[in-house]
Structure 1
Amino acid sequence: MIDKANSQDSLIVLTEGAIITALAMGLSYVPHSTGVSSVEFVYGLIPMSIYALRRGLKPGLMAGLVWGLLDMFLRGLGGGVLNPLQGFVEYPLAFGVVGLIGLGSVRVQRAIRDGKSGLGLIIFYSAIGFLAKYFLHFIAGGIYWGSYAPKSMNPWIYSLVINGGSFIANMIMLIVLAILLNRIFKQLIIPRN
């Protein structure tokens, strides 16, 4: 009986991960430019954050990895992949580390169960995942995308501005949505099973 319950739980986690990954990928097709060159909102980070906090580190990492592979094959091969190493760093690896948000799963769920908002913890652990993602993009930007920097600008500074700007934009988006969704965190983050 225990094996059947564990396999059902695993199937639920896997199914949720597939749905969240599909949602994140679908949101990639929504226009998301801020008007500043290459600084973009990545709407899929929000459902990925919720999933990683709901299910933990390993499912979060796996869902991020699959999202990165999908994004690479469906969108990146059209011009976002310069070579295999850069493609690996900026797609499966950078999207996968978003799952580091799952490091806070137990603490966030405990806070919510204890009747606390968990808002500060959600923002903190989301910042870890977002920062890891944009740090990898920063490294790849300095190494591989440097030729796209304005002629008078150091490629590393350019990468820092673009990827740092994207990190800040996405953190602002997360904070605004976290404040708006604060009342329903229990339904979003605490699994029923």
Structure 2
Amino acid sequence: MQQHKQLVVILETAIIAAFAMALTYIPHTTGVSAIELNYGLIPIAVLAMRRGLVPAAWAGVVWGILDLILRGIGGGSVLNPLQGILEYPIAFTLVGLMGLTFASFQKAVRGSEKVKASGYAFAGIIIGTFAKYFILFIAGVVFWGAYAPKGTNVWVYSLIVNGGSALFSTVLTIVVVVLLTVAPQLFVAKDGKSFSTKAA
């Protein structure tokens, strides 16, 4: 029975990673050069609130590797192995930190405290997206500084591009996930299986 539950979590994680990757192919440029909406953060956030930090982190790993192979290398977004690993598997894994508020979120959802649940989801999403885009911000300075418009400070350039992407993507993810809390069954796994600490 335990193995069955673990298999269910693994399957959910794989499906979410594939879904996040599929969403990447939806046009997501905001109109400002290099600033993008990252729709894939939404299913990862749902998984983080449903299963916890570890499954969300694993989904991020898989998503990052898929994005690296399918879009990064072919799209010319990989300058060298270090930059590729940093901006894809590592940065995407950190999205799993959304699951840090999993236990409190679960307690609120199971107690039908929708406002509290929304607040914990909000906090988790902020943490996960900040971690991802902080890595991208640093990588933008170190690896992409040469591509900044002439006369533009590389730190400012990276902050505008990655900060803008982080802001738009975070707001979108928070809005969608908070709206989804009206359907608590989406976040409560029937098997109760997770890889996080129990709610207090």
TM-score by length of 1: 0.95
Structure-to-structure mapping, 1:133-152, within 5 angstroms = 133-152=132-151
Cα distance, 1:114 vs. partner? Answer: 1.0
Pairing partner for 1:54 from 43, 50, 57: 50
Structure-to-structure mapping, 1:79-94, within 5 angstroms = 79-94=76-91
Aligned residues: 188
Give identity over the alignment, percent. 49
Pairing partner for 2:189 from 164, 179, 191: 191
What secondary structure is seen at the aligned counterpart in 1 of 2:35?
Answer: coil
Pairing partner for 1:112 from 109, 112, 122: 109
CA contact (8 A) 2:50 2:102 kept: yes
Indicate the RMSD between aligned Cα atoms, in angstroms: 0.9
Cα distance, 1:187 vs. partner? Answer: 1.5
Q: Which has the higher helix share?
A: 1
Pairing partner for 1:39 from 35, 39, 55: 35
CA contact (8 A) 2:28 2:36 kept: yes
Cα distance, 1:63 vs. partner? Answer: 0.9
Q: What runs of 5+ residues in structure 2 fail to find an aligned partner?
A: 192-200
Deviating above 4 A after TM superposition, structure 1's stretches of 4 or more consecutive aligned residues are none
What secondary structure is seen at the aligned counterpart in 2 of 1:153?
Answer: coil
CA contact (8 A) 2:59 2:93 kept: yes
Q: Which structure ranks higher in relative contact order (CA pairs < 8 Å, sequence separation ≥ 6)?
A: 2
TM-score by length of 2: 0.92
Is 1:23 matched up with 2:14?
Answer: no
Cα distance, 1:176 vs. partner? Answer: 2.2
Cα distance in structure 1, aligned partners of 2:27 and 2:122: 24
Cα distance in structure 2, aligned partners of 1:55 and 1:85: 30
Residue aligning to 2:161: 162
